[in-house]
Amino acid sequence: MWRFDGYPGRYLDVCLSSGSLKEIQLDKQTLLNNMGGKGLATHLLTTRDTTDDEAYDLQHPITGDADPAMHPSTPLLLMTGPFQGSKIGSSGRAVVCTRSPLTNIFIDTYIGGDFGHDLRLAGWDGLFIHGRSDSMVRLEIEDMDVSLQDAESMRGMTTWQCEKAIDADDVFSIGPAGESLVRIASPITAGRRAAGRGGTGASFGAKNLKAISVSNTGTARVADDTQYLGAVKKQRQKMGENRRVGDPFYRFGTSRGPIYAAQMARMPTINYTSATGAIFQNGQKVKQLNTVKLSGEYWHQSMPEAKQSGCCRPCPIACEASHRPSKGKPLHILRTERPEYETLAMLGSNLGIDSSLDVMDGNDACNQFGVDTISSGALISLVCELAQRGWFPDGWAEGEINGLPAFISLEGELIAWEFGNPKLPPLALARLANPSGMFTILAGGAVASSRWVEQETGHPATRLTAHCKGLDLPAWDPRGKRGNAMAYMTCNVGANHMRAGYKNPTGIPDSSALDLMPELIHSQNESVIRDSMILCAFASGATPDDVLVNAFNGITGDNASIEDLHLRANKQWDAARQWNVEHWLKIGVEPRQQDLLSYRLRRDALPDGPAAGMVSFVDDADESACLSEYYNLRGWAHSS
């Protein structure tokens, strides 16, 4: 089924408006030039964009802005890379790439699990989906046999219910939130692996696409087994060494993050009013959250029968854990999965909750309804702060508890919008998934909701959000680390913590990050290479350049150097930027202004901890100098 070494050599063009399914072949040089995954998705999105001009006539229902992301003609891509279908560790990945319903700019967001492996082994580099079906459908892939199936009977199902209902190796589906066009909706596979960022679940919903299922009987085709398997061996040896020396990541995954993040003044607390777990009222500290209790260590102590589990084949890291009665695929039962750091922070400390066990309920709700845990935490914390400040719009409250506005849960219980209430997240998310009343506004996400509240009430609600380019901050506060702000500001999707990094500690932002700009660009290009292969970021340390290059060349037959791959990555970064710039110019906004962080991160200093008194830069002049230097190094015009 594969046309080339390393590549199936084709993608499936799906027109949901007409129901046509076409095999589109790709030549080997195009595949090598774009590597695969993110690189290939960006190439196809920017060069074969099916978006109609009339898409810009569509208006966002909350902000009134142009809303091309939700137009039927806007394409939705799902791509794999050369490492899918291989024995490379930590390669159970696939990328969703489109125009984000949340931000209306470029988004690439990744899923774990086996879906990417199975799609590639079925004979497809990826999917290019456009148009809109008149009724709810699902895409069924069985090797080269593809079809659209009626899915009206699945309307309203949760993602867990979808996975039980469809007989296939893997299912990738939306829950009711995606169907309701909630802008923070996420498609889910394997019960808990989300394409989390940017609201791509709403992209599925806007196209009346409920699910994609895949089954395969294929095998991978590689160019040089010796070179490829040699790279696999070196990677596995390093992973084994890391495990033997007791690397805590191999035991706790990211869930140990609350302890570290709070110590470094980087953990969001009470809607980013603090970053250490400290809770302040009227400038005085009134409580300290227990970050150990919020961590994966406490979770394991409380659930001694819980075991680490490998989510993505083949992966020796096993960075997740679960408390299940048996091994194997998800059993889709509540309170089993250990949440990751970003979930523990955004649905925990950011909401004044400091128990990892309590966070499990919000995590389960996100997985079932198909919602991003990061943006869910951002949205709920915004509403809690609005309630705390007395900035609620007229007509929003459905009741009141102890002077705070409240809503009525689906079970009929009155729930206050208050920090520290573990019942709040799951019950609020259940309402959000099928929005009515105030939840029809909240369905737009935190940034759009804050704009609406500000317009309706006159209160400066937009000052309470933490985002860049409309994408909610991913639970790492830039006011606690020099250079982190620039990583968010220059990322093409907005605030994302997985697209750059610095090899050594950079300190707090009490001095300029100007000297870090070359390293920032290098690390961004490294992330493009990784996300084009596609390799999980957690395996980067065990997959140094020589191993990665040998794996790529051995699989594909290319003779690339790491410098060659960086040049290809740089082209991807520029192409995505240009696509964003064209959008911003169409809607009449200045691109450089879009790169700035939100008010809270630029103006509200941290109240305590090692970065007390810090904002994201030394001052506005430093911010401008760093941005200009970055543009110079990238070769971008200063106005774009």
The reply to whether 45 and 183 lie within a common domain is yes
Whether 497 and 379 map to the same domain: the answer is no
Residues in CB range of 142: below 8 A, 6 or more apart:
122, 168, 214, 215, 216
Instruction: Report, as an integer, the average pLDDT of 299-312.
Output: 77
Q: What is the mean pLDDT of the chain?
A: 95
Q: Among 405, 434, 468, give the residue marking a domain's end.
A: 468
Half-sphere exposure of 31 (CA within 13 A, CB side): 28
Domain contains 91? yes
Which among 464, 471, 509, 462 has a CA at the least distance from the CA of 490? 471
Whether residue 129 is predicted with pLDDT greater than 60 in this model: the reply is yes
**How confident is residue 325, by pLDDT bands cut at 50, 70 and 90?**
low
Q: Is residue 3 part of a domain?
A: no
310 pLDDT above the threshold of 80: no
DSSP 611: T
Dihedral over Cα of 167, 169, 174, 179: its sign: negative
- Is 32 a domain residue? yes
Domain boundary among 177, 199, 215: 215
Asked whether residue 323 falls in the same domain as residue 435, the answer is yes
Nearest alpha-carbon partner for 35 in 543, 530, 576: 530
| pLDDT at position 297 | 86
The predicted pLDDT at position 335 comes to: 80
pLDDT single digits (tens) 537-562: 989 999 999 999 999 999 999 999 99
**Residues 532, 84: Cα–Cα separation, whole Å:** 10
pLDDT at 332: 78
Provide the CA 233 distance to its chain's centre, in angstroms.
30
Strands 209-215 and 137-142: what pairing? parallel
Tell me: do 287 and 413 sit in the same domain. yes
Can you read off the two tokens belonging to residue 83?
Answer: 């490492």
Residue 616 lies in a domain: yes
Pairing of β 414-416 and β 404-408? antiparallel
In tens, the pLDDT along 48-94 reads 999 999 999 999 999 999 999 999 999 999 999 999 999 999 999 99
On whether both 546 and 585 belong to a single domain, the answer is yes
Q: pTM, whole model, 2 decimals?
A: 0.97
pLDDT score at 256:
87
Measured on CA atoms in the order 275, 279, 285, 289, is the torsion positive or negative?
negative
**Domain containing residue 314: CATH number:** 1.10.569.10
Asked if 294 and 354 count as a contact pair (C-beta separation under 8 A), the reply is: yes
Q: Please state, in angstroms and as integers, the Cα–Cα distance from residue 241 to each residue in 190, 215, 629, following that order.
A: 29, 35, 40
Same domain, yes or no: 486 and 558: yes
In sign, the C-alpha dihedral spanning 231, 232, 233, 236 is positive
Q: At what angle do helices 517-533 and 562-586 cross, to 10 degrees?
A: 100
Average pLDDT of the segment spanning 19-30: 98
Is the model's pLDDT at 316 over the cut of 80? no
Task: Pick 308 or 597 by higher pLDDT.
Answer: 597
User: Domain of 629: which CATH number?
Assistant: 1.10.599.10
For residue 562, what pLDDT is reported? 98
* Domain match, 313 and 365 both: yes
Contacts of 453 (CB under 8 A, 6+ apart): 386, 391, 393, 441, 459, 461
Domain check: are 75 and 21 in the same one? yes
Amino acid making up residue 371: V
Using one digit for the tens of pLDDT, what is the confidence trace for 94-113? 999 999 999 999 999 999 99
Same domain assignment for residues 140 and 166? yes
Taking only the tens place, the pLDDT of each residue in 212-240 is 999 999 999 999 999 999 999 999 999 98
Q: Which domain holds residue 599?
A: 480-634
Q: Where are the beta strands (DSSP E) in 525-602?
A: none
User: Residue 222: inside a domain, yes or no?
Assistant: no
Q: Which residues of 324-347 are buried (b: 16+ CB within 10 A; e: fewer)?
A: beeeeebebeeebbbbbbbbbbbb
The domain that holds 168 is classified in CATH as: 3.60.9.10
The domain tally of the chain equals: 3
Please determine, for residue 447, whether its predicted confidence score (pLDDT) is greater than 80: yes
Question: Mean per-residue pLDDT for 458-487?
Answer: 98
pLDDT reported for residue 16: 98
Residue type (1 letter), 274? S
- Residue 308 clears pLDDT 60, i.e. is over it: yes
Cβ atoms of 202 and 185 within 8 Å: the answer is yes
Do 145 and 249 lie in one domain? The reply is no
* Distance separating alpha carbons of residues 357 and 63, to the nearest angstrom: 36
Residues 408, 604: Cα–Cα separation, whole Å: 33
State the pLDDT at residue 311.
62
Residue 318 lies in a domain: yes
Tell me what percent of the residues of the chain surpass a pLDDT of 70: 98
Tell me the mean pLDDT in the region 428-437.
98
DSSP one-letter string for 84-134:
TTSS-TT---EEEEEE-TTTSSEEEEEE-SSHHHHHHHTT-SEEEEES--S
State both tokens at 359.
């966070």
Averaged pLDDT, 31-35: 98
Domain assignment present for 5 = no
322 and 430 fall within a common domain = yes
Q: Give residue 326's pLDDT band: very low, low, confident or very high (50, 70, 90).
A: low
> What pLDDT, on the 0 to 100 scale, is given for residue 37?
98
| Pair 442, 539 in one domain | no
pLDDT tens string 571-614: 999 999 999 999 999 999 999 999 999 999 999 999 999 999 99
What's the residue count for the chain?
A: 640
Instruction: Check residue 338 and report its DSSP letter.
Output: P
DSSP string, 408-453: E-TTS-EEE--TT-TTHHHHHHHHHHS--TTHHHHTTHHHHHHHHH
Residue 143 phi/psi, 5-degree rounding, is 55, -125
